[in-house]
Structure 1
Amino acid sequence: MQKLTLTTLLSFFLAFQIGNAQEGMKKSLEPSSAIPTDPNVKIGKLDNGLTYYIRNNGKPEDKLELRLAINAGSILEDKDQLGLAHFMEHMNFNGTKNFKKNELVDYLQSIGVQFGADLNAYTSFDETVYILPIPSDDPEKLEKGFQILEDWAHGATLTDEAIDGERGVVLEEYRLGLGPDKRMMQEYLPKMMYGSKYAERLPIGKKDVLENFKYKSVRNYFKDWYRPDLMAVVAVGDLDPATTEKMIKEHFGKIKKVKNPRKREVFDLPNHEETFVAIASDKEAAFSRVQVMYKDRENSTPTKTVLDYRTQIVRGLFSTMLNNRLNELRNSPNPPFVFGFSYYGGTFARNKNAYQSSATTSPEGQLNGLRAMLTENERVRRHGFNTGEFERAKKEILARLEKSFKDRDKQESGRIVNQYVYNYLEESPIPGIEWSYDFNKKVMPTIELAEINDLIKGFIHDDNRVIVITGPEKEGLKKVTEKEVLDLIKEVEAANIQPYEDEEVASALIETLPAAGTITNEETNAKLGFTKLTLSNGATVTYKKTDFKNDEILFQAYSPGGTSLYSDEEFKATTFANGGLSQAGIAGLSLNDMNKYMSGKIVRVNPSIGGFSENFRGSAAPKDIQTLFEMVHLYFTSLNKNDEAFQSYITKQKSFLGNLMANPQFFFSNEIGKVRNKGNSRYVGFPTPEAMEKADYDLAYKKYQERFADAGDFHFYFVGNVDEAKIKELSTKYLASLPGKGSNEKYVATKFRRKDAYHKEVIKRGKDPKSRVQITWEEADVKYDGDEASYIAALGEVLTIKLVEKLREEEGGVYGVGARGSMSKISFSNVTFSISFPCGPENVDKLVAAALAEVEKIKKEGPTEKDLNKVKETYLLNRKESLKQNRFWMSNLVRADQEGRDINKMNDYEKNVKAMTQKDIQKVANKYLDENYFLALLMPEDQ
């Protein structure tokens, strides 16, 4: 009754406010009005019940994003089918009407579509979605793409042989999921999803079913649920909508409508009066978490009307304000958690929402983290938010929406397509950014702080409450009890909680500036479209104006040197302190002060000290570019020193790292690092709580000041929608005014070299039957060659194709496997090549031998022309997209200067890829992949 009353009041309030708004918006803002559908998308339905969505979008060019959404997932499985919704997803890649086993992946690779990176699929409780990006400028490829999508919809062959062949791959994926998180989930999920089928239908299924299910079980699942009335085809990309619609009708219109279809049930999440407390611990758990969930009493309904949409905005404001408070707590001198957040949204059950608060804590601090979250919720319930918080939250939300609005014609299809998938699956609204931005701007002033404060009264209640606590189990660590949790709830409810006190927000970052410098030289590269400025203090500024995004400017900067110029003692003392330097803020403003000042601004800047350079990385909307320059100037001249802020950072790091080495994967990486760096005087390994405690803040701050004392040897880069006149003005004002001392430092190359000899290291850790294999070749002090660097990278791509075919498809021994090769110039020229994969312990020797056999085959015969052409096609497709991305240009501009490369050779890329031969790949394989490799094996502990 209370919810109905609130809804009625909100309707009345909004109607009253809208009555005073502009007449042109009046009708569309009436509370009962339906949320409009984005006019840029065409939605249709075929006679057989299949729904389709089509949107023309020209970014990236000549590419179409296709999705096949099935409104069915693991929740619909019968008892003999546990895991078969996901298994069926796998089977669609292993034989269909028009593509025999492996032909589908083989064909797509031949046109540049990578398996896993591009071509993919996923299965969850209520849905299965297939992902297929394809070129749209070739009619034959386009036709094949739609044929693949059609085959997924109703053309799976599901032969006995193919089903048995895929069991091993799916069981390896099942194996990957084993570990502490799954063991703890099995303890808390029955309480979190109490009385629901969701607690019994994890998509990965059960091992005994996957090993032993009868063929008819997966065929029955396919017959029952892969049908047109439960499907949607989504096509977004660079293709004429009429042509796309024609192809959809031709391929999917012929699928027959199912007579007497099995009912697609919706499964509820029942209510419960109790507060359930689930406490799960595990010896291998790396992290400690606490979560409070208040499940709604009523089932959720789709967001359909303007009032529904307005309610979403109100909830968004609530979450923004509360999370800002939690972030302030996180930055406090004694942070109660490493990270904490709250939100109102969905649960595993599609038709049940919940208000949830969650935090990552130290192993010993779970109750403290829980108390902090409960207290902040209770503080809001009693005292509400205040006006300052409210205004900042509105600015934050509108700034993000404004950025999306300005970039509305530059959004990549891959970022757009999922909104239509979820419109079909969950009836999520799709009004389009134009309407959404306009609606938010007009409605935001009508929202009262009182109605946001009222939300928490409906969010928090004694029933339908679940508290989940997970973390490590180890000697000396006292496990939290259910009684302690329930007592804590009562303690917070009875506590004297004061209102939140808001502090005044700074009006400016910089009060006074030193005299501006000048630009002493300007050079333009007409071929590649960038300009390089030399400033009076010696610094350089390189900028490239692009139209790839309307509201984005990327920023980077570097100066050679970094920690390579530290002594061994200085390096070890400061390595783990450097990350905390910026936590003190700048110009006398704390991190919390800075966050408040940045409300409504789209800008970020982060300084860092790396091994061979000191750096900046950031971005800004064009309107906020001056703020970015101001921040950079202040990071040079006015980095705060604050012991409390640094200690807060150390506390969070120690909390996060407290039990990291209990996890077998982290332990393995750490131990292998120790072995491979034996004799390296500068090796520090993974950070530990003890190492963080020893971090020398005073020395780190002193060294920071040294590293950033001379701006004259810095290189600054800006790529995006830059205003050239503005960049020049701000560069002279904020960068050229910085001290330039002419130091012109160079980094010092690493002295340590690993032995070039075969070595095998076996690490035993963990109780699950899980292993990991890493095979690494490394050769130091080679002569750098740009062509050879390309061949080594291509060798990794070719070998990955062969390893997937051999280890996954033929042997059924892995879920995923990859090879990667690179040649680097910093700090010394070296080659690194690696193969890695997880597998069962019983298969390690066999699969290592198989992987090495594929290496030897390439060394002896070279790659096939077919496989090399797959890699070339992928390279050329990716390059075509990359050339229209700001981050690509930023990376190449910076790397060219850092490594002394001729930037103009970028124009030779396509020619060089096409000229790459099988012999080139074979040659580098023989040159670098010899018998001197490092074999690292993670094996389970002896039981």
Structure 2
Amino acid sequence: MKKIISTLIVMLFCMAGLLAQTDSAISESETITEGKIPTDPNVKVGKLSNGLTYYLRNNGKPEDKVELRLVVNAGSIMESDRQLGLAHFMEHMNFNGTKNFKKNDLVDYLQSIGVKFGADLNAYTSFDETVYILPIPSDDPEKLEKGFQILEDWAHNTTLSEEAIDGERGVVLEELRLRLGADERMQKVYLPKMMYGSRYADRLPIGTKENLENFSYDDVRHYYKTWYRPDLMAVVAVGDLDIETMEKKIQEHFSGIKKSDNPKKRESYELPNHEETLIAIASDKEAAFSQVQVMYKDHFEAPTLTTIGDYRDRLVKNLFSTLINNRLDELRNSANPPFVFGFSSYGGTFARTKNAYQSFAMTSPEGQLNGLKAILEENERVKRFGFQEAEFERAKKSLLAQLEKQYNDRDKLESERIVGEYINNYLENAPIPGIEWEFDMTKQLLPDIKLKEISDLINAFLHDDNRVIVITGPEKEGLTQVTEEQVRELLEKLETSEIAKYEDEAVRSELLETLPEPGSITDKPTNETLGTTTLILSNGATVTYKKTDFKNDEVLFKAFSPGGTSLYSDEELKATTFANNGLAEAGIGGLSLTDMNKFLSGKIVMVNPSIRGFSENFSGSAAPKDLETLFQMIHLYFTALNKDKEAFNSFITKQKSFLGNLMANPQFYFQDQLGKIRNEGNPRYTGFPTIEKMDASDYDLAYAKYQERFADAGDFHYYLVGNLDEEKVAEYAEKYLASLPGKQSNEKYIPTKFRSKDEYQKHVIKRGEDPKSNVSITWIEEMPYDSKTEMAIAALGEVLSIKLIEKLREEEGGVYGVGARGSLSKISYSSMTFSINFPCGPENVDKLVAAALAEVEKIKNEGVTPEDMTKVKETYLVKYKEDLKTNKFWIDNLLEADQEDKDANAILNFVEKLADLKAEDLQEVAKKYLDEKYFLGILMPETE
């Protein structure tokens, strides 16, 4: 089961702390702020007599599906010393036998109705909660009933048999094994200081190996009985189903759960204050990345948002975050960037009861102190000089643009994206007013928010006490570790150091200073079957678009032209491969990356050019209102990509910082070595990026080759899918695309000449000190392309994944996760790739490899069971039905059909093709291609 524990990235969006307002003047806006934040009228919130809370909402996207969640307000923080890891273990046990579903029956049934284990059916355990995730069909009464029955069983009908408990120990221990490594070892150093004096420091949800191996059956049963009770539970149901039916189901299934006679108090554990600054410095020889973090914990408990004034305070803090992070982005894109990535935010911590202002940066191994200095100085700069008006205006535009997009798409939001806010409302009293109210209230409140009150927040955020500084990174020869003395010296010097005021440079108001001479549309064929229109442009280019109503505020864009780096010489390829991603760092049309970010404030638009192995490409997206800007950016990427060696060097510096110790991580090293072995003798293999390869990158050559690859705009096929104004598409296509040079080059890519060895190979790679291994089994076969074979290969991967989970995880208890995947591609030559991958203990490698291959042989000899074919077909049908209503599905498949010369109309023939797919087709593919000539790669620890 996946884990969701608060992370630094999540903190960006958890702006829940509040400051008291001090202005005593009574204004109209202050009268507004005295009101209460309402509850969205679209959601029904209720409570049963036994204390269980429920949230219900009718939502039609996707059709015929309802998202169910069982939320338990108890996690690892509630465990006794004898129960370490058992909150998470209990989560596992709910999939291993209940009153109405015997062991494995639950997963088996859900797979049969198209609910995929792991991808759809899932759960997570955190410090403070456990949440179960179950999407089910809503158009079938029987399936709907069983879905609610499963949720009820999780709540109070888990059997917890001794056999099932012992069988799951191995799976959870394998999950724990996955977590072993540098990050886990360093966390043991810094977590006790980050969560100083609190229970959170020693209640990680995964628990301990010792306890997972030795806990008694009664220990886990006691946890279940104590904390799985209705007054600590909520059921969330959001989907394509009327509220009355959902409410009736909840009453039928959950009203009968009895209250506890003597319920144990659900404690709220504090994060105590401390007077000093705590510093944690942790290093590890296997650490791949270097990071620094400063955490200023509040002195007071995290309050809840209840009034409009509270909401206004959150807006102020959101604006602060946008402003400070815009400055950090500018630093990141500077000539000598002090970090690879950096951000600051005010929000939650691991503890519900405490918020904090935090600044974070990822640095080079040698640049930790410099990165720490940079984020501290930016905070100090704000403290001394505040923000500026132009910055403030851009931040407001950006905030409103994002809210407007959410508002415009309010009736097209997927149910799985809605349930989270109701979960947070139950667990943390987070407000749920709905996007209509938020958008309207934000527009009312923004004009009255002053720049000074945003700037002044920093005075409350920064303090010497309750502060924690965490530094983590590699440990290797020649690298001098940062010391606590150096950190404290830096903190002292900061108070008296000279810091310049931030200078905000204005940017021009127009992206294109000179409009191009328009071209024309010479033809406009349509495909009635697919609902697409193609514009043939005067320069030879084609624009295919499909107008949809799947989202109100979304247009997706892609484009390609055949060729790519396949047309480079071997020497050119190696000199430019790792430079290509840095070309766009220079900006376009004379605007730097920082200038572009400023110009695009308030716009929802992005365009990214790229050069791949067999094509040059564009990808992007825009809100309909910003579609012209998207076309303008495409035009400039063809005609006016800046050449800026300083910007490129900044990119190289960041890449080298990121890559500085990458190969110390055993998993990265394993993949790198396998790639080298498979490509032995391949003159065009470039492999993983390294510092040496980045240093050898030839910017001038890469830029020249970019100009060459994008010289013929008439060789491109552009795709647009979304809420399009067709007249605007035609207008912009003529103005910004047809005006580009078309040379009728009609280039084709050059197919790869290299072929992997068609023979059995076994390679054992030794790396790492932890008792953990990884297995990769791969078949690569050159073969003719056939769409039916392509489907059979992919379906075989799905079936084999089911069998491997049953055998290696459920029966052997030897893995946490295992999967198989098969694909057939026409680029650059028609070939199949089929793989099996899983992590495990070193002592189990041979046994599990044999077991995995035995499952392959079983399919070859005995075929695929009707039950497994039903599972895979149903999963495919459910996904296809949903995919048909997404812009991403259409743009990906339209482009792929063109790029791989497939029949685009086949997009709509999937159901018929799937119906024709037989178990014998999968068996034939297995027999024909999964032979003894496979590549076996095994990662083993160095001690083995």
Instruction: Tell whether the structures are fold-level matches, with TM greater than 0.5.
Output: yes
**1:18 matched to which residue of 2?**
29
User: What is the distance in 1 between the residues matched to 2:564 and 2:389?
Assistant: 44
Corresponding residue of 1:342: 344
Normalised TM-score (structure 2): 0.98
1:155-179 Cα distance to aligned partner (Å, 9 max, x none): 0000111100000000000000100
Match of 2:22 among 2, 6, 9: 9
What SS does structure 2 have at the residue aligned with 1:354?
Answer: strand
Residue 854 of structure 1: aligned partner: 855
Deviation at 1:6, TM superposition (A): 6.5
- Aligned mates of 2:513, 2:481 — CA distance in 1: 52
Match of 1:639 in 2: 641
Shift of 1:513: 2.4
Which residue of the partner structure matches residue 598 of structure 2?
596
Q: CA deviation at 1:514?
A: 2.7
Deviation at 1:845, TM superposition (A): 0.3
Q: Distance in 2 between matches of 1:672 and 1:575?
A: 20
Name the SS of the counterpart of 1:787 in structure 2.
Answer: helix
1:817 paired with 2:818, answer: yes
Q: After superposition, what is the alpha-carbon deviation per residue over 1:529-560, rounded to whole angstroms, capped at 9, x for unaligned?
A: 00011000000000000000000000000000
Q: Which residue identity does 2:658 align to in structure 1? A: F
Aligned to 1:405: 407
Matched, 1:723 2:725: yes
Note if contact 1:397-1:600 (Cα within 8 Å) is conserved in structure 2.
Answer: yes
Query: Aligned equivalents of 1:907 and 1:447: distance in 2?
Result: 52
Residues 596 and 58 of structure 1: CA distance in aligned 2, closer, same or farther (over 3 Å): same
> Match of 1:836?
837
Q: Classify the secondary structure of the residue corresponding to 2:390.
A: helix
Separation in 1, partners of 2:860, 2:21: 75
Match of 1:562 among 561, 564, 569: 564
Alignment partner, residue 510 of structure 1: 512
- 1:750-899 matches, within 5 Å, as 750-780=752-782, 782-899=783-900
Q: Which residue of 2 aligns with 1:926?
A: 927
The answer to whether 1:442 aligns with 2:455 is: no
- The answer (yes or no) to whether the contact 2:17–2:314 under 8 Å persists in 1 is no
Alignment partners' CA distance in 2, 1:80 and 1:927: 53
Distance 1:703 1:450 in 2: 49
Counterpart of 1:310, as a letter, is: R
Q: Which residue of 539, 548, 551 corresponds with 1:549?
A: 551
**1:284-683 equivalences in 2 (<5 Å):** 284-683=286-685
In 2, Cα distance between equivalents of 1:429 and 1:446: 22
Shift of 1:5: 13
| Residues 26-50 of structure 1: per-residue CA shift (max 9 Å, x gap) | xxx6323210000000000000000
Deviation at 1:512, TM superposition (A): 1.3
Q: Separation in 2 of the partners of 1:505 and 1:783? A: 54
Change (3 A) 1:83 1:469: same
2-structure distance, mates of 1:677, 1:588? 41
Superimposed CA distance per residue, residues 687-721 of structure 1 (whole angstroms, 9 cap, x where no aligned partner) = 00111011000000000000000001100010000
User: Shift of the alpha carbon at 1:107?
Assistant: 0.2
Letter in 2 for 1:16: S
The answer to whether the 8 A contact 1:760-1:934 is kept is yes
Deviations 1:505-538 (A, max 9, x none): 2211112123110000111111110001100000
* Residues matched between the structures, number: 929
Residue 4 of structure 1: CA displacement? 14
**Match for residue 156 of structure 2?**
154
User: C-alpha distance in 1, partners of 2:100/2:614?
Assistant: 53
RMSD: 1.1
Distance in 2 between the 1:697 and 1:82 partners?
Answer: 54
Give the structure-1-normalised TM-score: 0.98
**Contact map agreement 2:17 2:303 (CA 8 A) in 1:** no
- Percent of aligned pairs with the same residue? 70
Tell me the distance in 2 between the aligned counterparts of 1:18 and 1:219: 54
CA distance in 2, matches of 1:508, 1:495: 39
Which residue is equivalent to 1:22? none
Deviation for aligned residue 1:907: 2.2
One-letter amino acid of the structure 2 residue matched with residue 193 of structure 1: M
Partner AA of 2:686 in structure 1 = V
Tell me the equivalent position of 1:50: 52
Q: Aligned equivalents of 1:668 and 1:273: distance in 2? A: 45
Separation (CA, whole Å) in 2 of partners of 1:906 and 1:769 = 46
Deviation at 1:904, TM superposition (A): 1.1
Decide whether the 8 Å contact of 1:17 with 1:446 is kept in 2.
no
**How far has the Cα of 1:620 moved from its partner?**
0.2
Cα pair distance change 1:604/1:4, threshold 3 Å: closer
Aligned to 2:265: 263
Q: State the secondary structure of the residue aligned to 2:35.
A: coil
Runs of 4+ more than 6 Å apart? 3-6
- Taking a change above 3 Å as real, the CA distance of residues 5 and 524 of structure 1, as seen in their structure-2 partners, is closer
* Distance in 2, Cα, partners of 1:689 & 1:228: 56
Which consecutive unaligned segments of at least 5 residues does structure 1 have? 20-28
* C-alpha distance in structure 2 between counterparts of 1:942 and 1:118, whole Å: 38
Q: Identify which of 116, 135, 149 aligns with 2:137.
A: 135
**1:25: which partner in 2?**
none
**Offset of 1:204 from its aligned partner?**
0.1
2:51–2:230 Cα contact (<8 Å) kept? yes
CA distance, structure 2, for counterparts of residue 291 and residue 149 of structure 1: 40
* Offset of residue 942 of structure 1: 1.9
- Evaluate the alpha carbon distance shift between residue 251 and residue 5 of structure 1 in structure 2; reply closer, same or farther with a 3 A threshold: closer
Q: Give the Cα separation in 2 of the matches to 1:862 and 1:6.
A: 66
Secondary structure in 2 aligned to 1:30? helix
Find the aligned partners of 2:81 and 2:893 in 1 and give their Cα distance.
54
- 1:206 equivalenced with 2:219 (yes/no): no
Partner of 2:904: 903
Cα-to-partner distance string for 1:619-657 (whole Å, 9 max, x where unaligned): 000000000000000000000000100000000000000
For 1:31 and 1:403, how far apart are their aligned partners in 2?
25
The 8 Å contact of residues 18 and 303 in structure 2, kept in 1 or not, is answered as no
Q: 1:4 and 1:148, CA in 2 relative to 1: closer, same or farther beyond 3 A?
A: closer
Matches of 2:365 and 2:759, distance apart in 1: 41
The separation in 2 between residues aligned to 1:108 and 1:739, in whole angstroms, is: 55
Listed one character per residue, the Cα deviations across residues 132-185 of structure 1 (whole Å, up to 9, x for unaligned) are: 000000000000000000000000000111100000000000000100000000
1:274 paired residue number: 276
Asked whether the equivalents of residues 65 and 239 of structure 2 are also in contact (C-alpha less than 8 Å), the reply is: yes
Deviations 1:852-892 (A, max 9, x none): 00000000011101001100000000000000000000011
Deviation (angstroms), 1:493? 1.4
Is 2:748 the counterpart of 1:735?
no
The structural deviation recorded for 1:78 is 0.3
Residue 699 of structure 1 corresponds to 701
Quick one: distance in 1 between partners of 2:567 and 2:436?
A: 52
Cα displacement (A) at 1:9: 2.0
Which residue of structure 2 lines up, in the alignment, with residue 91 of structure 1? 93
Matches within 5 A, 1:161-200: 161-200=163-202
Residue 838 of structure 1 aligns to a residue whose secondary structure is strand
Shift in CA distance, 791/382, structure 1 to aligned 2, threshold 3 Å: same
Matches of 2:364 and 2:205, distance apart in 1: 31
**Residue 823 of structure 2 contacts residue 833 of structure 2 at CA under 8 Å; is this kept in 1?**
yes
Deviation at 1:446, TM superposition (A): 0.6
Instruction: Give me the whole-angstrom Cα distance separating, in 1, the residues matched to 2:149 and 2:854.
Output: 36
Q: Tell me the CA shift for residue 262 of structure 1.
A: 0.4
Residue 82 (structure 1) aligned to one of 75, 84, 96: 84
Whole-Å Cα distance in 2 between the matches of residues 127 and 8 of structure 1?
32
3-state SS of 2:32 partner: coil
Q: CA deviation at 1:673?
A: 0.4
* Equivalent residues of 2:85, 2:211 under 8 A apart: yes
Are residues 265 and 563 of structure 1, via their aligned partners in 2, closer, same or farther at CA, if it must alter by over 3 Å? same
- Pair 16,6 (structure 1): closer, same or farther in 2 beyond 3 Å: farther
Secondary structure of 1:687's aligned partner: coil
